[in-house]
Amino acid sequence: MDDYFYQPLLLSVVAVALLQLLKLALRPATSPRPPPGPWELPVIGGMHHLVNVLPHRALRDLAAVHGPLMMLRLGQTPMVVVSSKETARAVLKTHDTNFATRPKLLAGEIVGYEWVDILFAPSGDYWRKLRQLCAAEILSSKRVLSFRHIREDEVMLCVEEIRAAGPSTPVNISVMFHSITNSIVSRAAFGKKRHNAAEFLAATKAVVGLASGFNVPDLFPAWTRVLAGLTGMTRSLRDIHRTVDTILQEIIDERRAAREAKVRSGVEGEDVDENLVDVLVGLQEKGGFGFTLTNSIIKAVILDMFAGGTGTSGSAMEWAMSELMRTPAVMKKLQGQIREAFHGKSQVTEADLQASNLQYLKLVIKEALRLHPPAPMLVPRESIEACEVAGYTVPAKARVVINAWAIGRDPKYWGKHADEFRPERFEDGAVDFTGGSYEFLPFGSGRRMCPGFNYGLASMELSLVGLLYHFDWSLPEGVKEVDMEEAPGLGVRRRSPLMLCATPFVAATA
């Protein structure tokens, strides 16, 4: 019985192996050679490799086995993971045009007004014109500078709140930083903090999670509608859309009425534009951009500003503060330079910052972004056509993910102490985050590079300076070290809030 069963089985295995070898031997030299990848299961492909893990870490470990250009199928979707400086350059520079579009995710259709925003609009003439418009009118250095009074106000409100808590009461720095960024973006976009701001921010946070591209319905394009209905994803996205759309329409109507009243009273030019909604409404009236700037596009652009400028900036700040608390020598050096530069001032303004040109502060921020990029795996791209990268063929319609977190910690580029917080590694100025250094990609590179990173950096610089100038910081009683555990999910949020005690160093303002 045993011979009757095992002998045919053995012969079958040998026959299949020989046929596979023959197939490989007869394969034309020009036939596609897909990137290597881990083992897969029927139907779900390699989805099991990303269950109950931190994806950026799990994909880094898989790349160590299968190489810096790796492919695994998630459901019906081939996903190519880029994990080296060299392969990142190939995707983001050499073949940037081919990888410059986005996958059409369900969240972008329902909440993003059918993919009309900057983030998820497919590449093409409309996207290029929209990006040019926003770069000139919304995301320019001049526009960022125009909101400096808002950043200064919010940082000082935070300083006074910390001062009021007293030196013995632990302060939730995580909440503080997220509150600062939320308030700054709210005031810059709408002109004021709104009564329904919490509802709007909750909706924005929810859509970010549903727009990751890793939700099951988005991984089975042929079954997206069915699966989204069964899992409740469609219902959730429509609820979010109703909330966001109602609030944004209310704001647009208010700002249009206020704008018209100003124009009637004789106010002209830039004095009419107090916030980003005002700017967009004015551009809508002006026209002449090669496309119609509809209310839906205005709403989608404002939603992008919130999605990209709140949670990510707050997270970057709390990680920077966490690293400073873990490295007292760096904290002492930075605090010393800040206090020497602004000695005697009751408040540090952005004008003060620009005049002082604190180089070490910039190094500290770079190092924090290297170790904790706001989006550890950059927003997914999609290949338009099949393309050869590093000797392998990336298929058309493949989802392409750059593991910026893994590249930023690779000892090949950063030395044997790659995981340590050492701002001095940036002293020579050879590496920067403006898109030309492919070992350092906190904001991406190429056509799809994050266009609004200057907003986040301005808030980060002033907030860190404000807190380090006004207070000496310590861990709460009984806490020996900073917990650096990351929260589950696609981001790199702290698992637990950063709680610190603040002893005033600069006297309260009169």
Question: Where is the binding site for heme, in residues?
Answer: 450
Is the separation of the CB atoms in 118 and 451 below 8 Å? yes
Q: What are the residues facing 74 on neighbouring strands?
A: 45, 77
Annotated binding-site positions: 450
Write the CA distances from 20 to 17, 25, 63, 71, 136, integer angstroms: 5, 9, 25, 21, 56
d(CA 197, CA 177) in angstroms, rounded, equals 16
Chain centroid to Cα 20, Å, comes to: 43
Which amino acid is it at 393? T
Hey, what's the torsion of the CAs at 269, 273, 276, 279, to 10 degrees? Answer: -40
Residue the block writes with tokens 């921020």: 365
Q: What's the Rg (C-alpha) of the chain? A: 25
Helices (H), 45-124: 55-66, 85-89, 106-110
Using DSSP, how many helices (H) and how many strands (E) does the chain show?
21, 9
β-bridge mates for residue 474, sequence order: 501
Strand order in the sheet with 399-402: 69-74, 77-82, 399-402, 381-382
**Count of C-beta atoms within a 10 Å radius of residue 326:** 14
Question: Of 308, 291, 305, nearest to 124 (Cα)?
Answer: 291
166: left (phi over 0), alpha (psi -120 to 50) or beta: left
Here the tokens at position 210 are: 């549903």
Residue 390 in contact with residue 82, Cβ under 8 Å? no
User: What angle in degrees, to the nearest 10, is found between the helix axes of 173-190 and 148-165?
Assistant: 150
Q: Give me 295's structure tokens.
A: 């209310």
Alpha carbon distance 321, 178 (integer Å): 13
3-state SS string over 430-470? CCCCCCCCCCCCCCCCHHHCCCCHHHHHHHHHHHHHHHHHH
- Candidates 498, 491, 496; CA nearest to 54 is 491
